[in-house]
Amino acid sequence: MAIEAGPIETAQPGAASRRPLGRLSRSALTRAGRAALLATGRAPVPDAIEPIVQAHRRHHPQADLALLARAYRLAEEGHRGQTRKSGEPYITHPLAVTMILAQLGAETTTLVASLLHDTVEDTEVTLDQVAADFGPEVAYLVDGVTKLEKVDFGAAAEAETFRKMLVATGDDVRVMVIKLADRLHNMRTIRHMKPASRVRIAKVTRDVLIPLAERLGIQVLKTELEDIVFATLHPEEYARTRAVVAAHEARPDELLQPFAGTLARQLAEAGVPAEVTVRPRHCVSVHRVMLKRAAAAGPDGRPQALQPADFGRLLVVVEENADCYAVLGELHTCWTPLPGEFKDFVAAPKFNLYQSLHTAVQLPGGEVAEVLVRTRQMHRVAEFGVVALGDPHQPADRTAAAAPAATGTPAGSGAPAGGDELDRTDPARPGWLSRLLAWQQETPDPDAFWTTLRDTLADDGEITVVTEEGDTLHLPVGASCVDAAYLLGEETGHRCIGARVNGRLATLSTVLRDGDMVAVLTAPTGEPPGPSADWLEHVRTPAARLAVERWLAGRPAAAPEVETGPADGRPVPQPLPHPPAGARGRAPVAVAGRPDTPVRLARCCTPVPPDAVTGYPIRGGAVAVHRTGCPVGERMREDGRGPLRLTWVPGAAPPNGYRVALQAEALNRPRLLADLTAAISGEGVGIFSADVEAPRDLRVRHSYTIELPGAETLPAVMRAMLRVPGVYDVYRAGAPREDVAAGPAADPPDGAAEVAAGRNGGDPADGAVRPSWGMHGRSAAFSGGSSSGAAGGPQG
């Protein structure tokens, strides 16, 4: 059903002198109609709103026409003497807007508010007067669409007006419905505006109003707005497309109409009652197909031309949901379906209430025809969106009749008409609107709000993903695992370190698809690694972006502070300052009883202060320094080399610094090696060697040998590596064997804190430098437990 675009005639002086209509003049017919109304006991209505009344009665036979008449009289009196840019009386605008809404099937309250929608803004009528005469509900709708004054808001008036309308729409979606009808009539008469104003209004319509019409499911408004915007902003391309459409319409349809007749006969023979029609594409839709054809080269290498089937689709309207699938069975049995073209929006409605079966079949001549299948009620919702669901504030028993169309719930099932706040079929508060209202509260700046609003509405659609716990998440197309994490809560987002998509490990930057199953993997409670600035590159939802930016803004010192010391409440020693230049080159370890004995730091366990270390004699009279419990050192002990007691020399350091072996466990992704090496180099540390193991189940291990200028820089390097997206654990290589064997109940030697799974074990906590613990140990998020590691040790 299309919305009529013709002008609405109002009573004009001299109407009686017009050409007679049959035997009776127009005035005589009007008097006869008024007499008929009086005879039935129904009060007459002004002639100007008679077309509106007729359109309204088709949807609401018992409508309160007296209320409409009172609203018209107040609007006509208030706007009397005002004219539009076209020179027409101003009252023609609210009449036209109300006619659009009446054709959509809006209820009486919406029509009353539509007649009065400009009175508070442009006349002497006040909002209190509207509330007193027509009730608070009408006053709320009128106030919701009333613009804010530029005198009060300046350049921010337009952005703040849309913010005000969005907030009002959150309580009553009819506010935006009236605004869309208002904009449609303004676009129909946009030719009377100045060129600069036409461009500005058309761009705002394109960026904000058309996406809102799409999200509310009001397809008839959306398509007409798209065509007018296209003609306004791109008149030459519109003229070319319009000429192509006109040329096609001038030729007889030798493809879709015969196919529609054949399909109708086939369905009748199968006993499926159905109405089959050809649904032409509107101008913008044809233009999109033209661009798609032009971009795809044909067999001869030239751009493809439009085919007859590109100008329309078949629409099959049936009575029951089950008939939709019966039609689909006949289509796929009698014609060849195209793989990948079938979409079931009946079982899984789109975010804007839309329900239909989509398929495409190949005809005998090789042409491809698209077919849409839906019930009558689905068709109403597909065309008129939330308007077809009636008053969102009606009791459930009055709106239950509209619920099956949007939810697929059988009539009479007793299902509530409203639903959960994030239910996409809730007419009072769609899920996308709830999210808009949530982030707009955190964006007080008008320019930032306006930019974010346009970017958000530019998203093509919405996807639905489910968590492994069964929760449903609604996200925009292109959303990543980071967006899903923040949708579960800001704290969950800050602590996320990875994700599992459809049972397989995935990076946080992974783009989710409709129907995916997602599990967000988080760091242990109380130890959030915090978001990285890199996350801003792959977040799509404003809420996630605002949360990440707010977290980063609260920590301007480049990086979050991640503790690497003991987590058992013991005091953490402060790091030593960098060693003086004169101390570099001195032996960092002293052998008890052998003051001038040369020492060599073992490469297997790379000890650094304040690790607990043990010395073993080697050739040449030197002493090898191993971390206590190092497997290599233990074999030397078993070979009969007596251990020597060692102490770290304060301020001393090897000539080239300390060499340390680190390992990073991460979720594999592109540029991970580059990001890790950049993080290490950013701390002023040299990389002696690097090794990357082959990925296993999307997990990968990177091993680095680095040269530290001083032992105190090791915790900062490990923190920097852990902040790289995808990295969920950083630890030192060469776990001491006895630490692993000791088990979770054993106390580490010399009072050192144990790191989970033997990682970084044997580091005493009472040295002058903070021990370099493994950053997370074995992450509980991957094992499904809540403890801090396999060995029960603390995690930093």
Q: What pLDDT is attached to residue 4?
A: 58
In this structure, are residues 533 and 754 in contact, taking their beta carbons and an 8 Å threshold?
Answer: no
pLDDT band, residue 725 (cuts 50/70/90): confident
pLDDT for residue 229 is more than 50: yes
pLDDT band, residue 31 (cuts 50/70/90): low
Q: Compare 774 and 762 and report the one with higher pLDDT.
A: 774
Q: Nearest 5°: phi and psi at 792?
A: 75, 10
pLDDT digits (tens, 9 = 90+) for 666-704: 888 877 888 888 888 888 888 888 888 888 877 888 988
pTM for the model: 0.61
pLDDT for residue 282 is more than 80: yes
pLDDT band, residue 335 (cuts 50/70/90): very high
Is 483 strand, coil or helix? helix
pLDDT for residue 407 is more than 50: no
pLDDT for residue 237 is more than 50: yes
Is residue 122 annotated as a catalytic residue, yes or no? yes
pLDDT digits (tens, 9 = 90+) for 486-512: 988 888 888 888 888 988 888 888 899
Is 297 strand, coil or helix? strand
pLDDT band, residue 93 (cuts 50/70/90): very high
Average pLDDT, whole number, for the chain?
76
Amino acid at 81: G
Q: What percent of the chain has pLDDT over 70?
A: 74
pLDDT band, residue 731 (cuts 50/70/90): confident
With CA atoms as reference, report the closest residue to 483 among 431, 543, 407, 400. 543
Q: d(Cα 316, Cα 323) in Å, to the nearest integer?
A: 10
Catalytic residue chosen out of the listed positions 88, 122, 563, 707:
122
pLDDT for residue 262 is more than 50: yes
79-93, 99-113, 178-192, 398-412: range with lowest mean pLDDT: 398-412
Q: What pLDDT is attached to residue 562?
A: 36
With CA atoms as reference, report the closest residue to 626 among 762, 469, 434, 490. 762
pLDDT digits (tens, 9 = 90+) for 555-586: 765 343 433 333 333 333 334 344 444 444 56
Q: What pLDDT is attached to residue 9?
A: 40
Q: Nearest 5°: phi and psi at 368?
A: -110, 130
Is residue 675 annotated as a catalytic residue, yes or no? no
User: C-alpha distances in angstroms, 451 versus 208, 222, 456, 523?
Assistant: 11, 22, 9, 33
pLDDT for residue 295 is more than 80: no
pLDDT for residue 454 is more than 70: yes
Catalytic residue chosen out of the listed positions 121, 133, 459, 683:
121
Is 453 strand, coil or helix? helix
DSSP labels, 167-195: HHHHH-THHHHHHHHHHHHHHHTGGGS-H
Q: d(Cα 24, Cα 363) in Å, to the nearest integer?
A: 54
pLDDT band, residue 359 (cuts 50/70/90): very high
Which phi-psi region, left, alpha or beta, contains residue 620 (left: φ > 0; alpha: ψ -120 to 50)?
left
pLDDT band, residue 30 (cuts 50/70/90): low
Q: d(Cα 71, Cα 497) in Å, to the nearest integer?
A: 59
Mean local confidence (pLDDT), 94-109: 94
In 453-604 the beta strands, taken as DSSP E runs, fall at 462-467, 472-476, 496-501, 504-506, 517-522, 589-591, 599-601
pLDDT for residue 126 is more than 70: yes
pLDDT band, residue 32 (cuts 50/70/90): low
- Asked, as a colleague might, if the bond just before 337 is cis with ω within 30 of 0, I would say no
Q: What is the CA radius of gyration of the chain?
A: 36
Q: d(Cα 590, Cα 637) in Å, to the nearest integer?
A: 20
